[in-house]
Structure 1
């Protein structure tokens, strides 16, 4: 049985820092997980690039709906981890 792989908040923060920039964006913490990406200083391009990085890192396709529906870090992580859990269950 394959171990479940998860994307944690710290992992997401590292990836976002690459695409969103260090100085312009808010640090992702538990307290800001329900704020919208734009409120945190991330635009749709940085989120799209983050999605592509996650796809490459985990070798899993992510639906583009994550860009629209995963509009907060908490929702984004939940959607990505659902995909990863589904892949592990196969």
Structure 2
């Protein structure tokens, strides 16, 4: 996939496909600055999410940076940095 930008909408889709969602969580709301833990996504779910992103967007996410991405906004920013680097190469 030759995407130029990873968006919150795309993240929602990947999260749902990779790990589903807790019935008490509204991923359609303003989730950008909500911790993944509060959204019901623990480390295993985030690893699955990252793996799907890597496969779908043909990028390799830095494991340390991935561990530090605690909110959707941070993960989206991380993915976009890697997408930009892949396009520049």
Specify the TM-score bucket, using the shorter chain as the normaliser. Answer: 0.7 to 0.9
Contact 2:3 2:57 in 1 (8 A): no
Say what the alpha-carbon RMSD is for the aligned residues: 2.0
What is residue 55 of structure 2 aligned with on the other side?
Answer: 56
What is residue 74 of structure 1 aligned with on the other side?
Answer: 73
**Secondary structure of 1:18's match?**
helix
Q: TM-score, normalised by structure 2?
A: 0.84
Check 1:37–1:22 CA distance in 2 against 1; reply closer, same or farther (3 A cut): closer
Q: TM-score, normalised by structure 1?
A: 0.83
Contact 1:36 1:72 in 2 (8 A): yes
**Number of positions where the alignment pairs a residue of Structure 1 with one of Structure 2:** 88
Check 1:25–1:4 CA distance in 2 against 1; reply closer, same or farther (3 A cut): same
**Secondary structure of 2:73's match?**
helix
Aligned-pair distance for 1:13?
Answer: 0.5
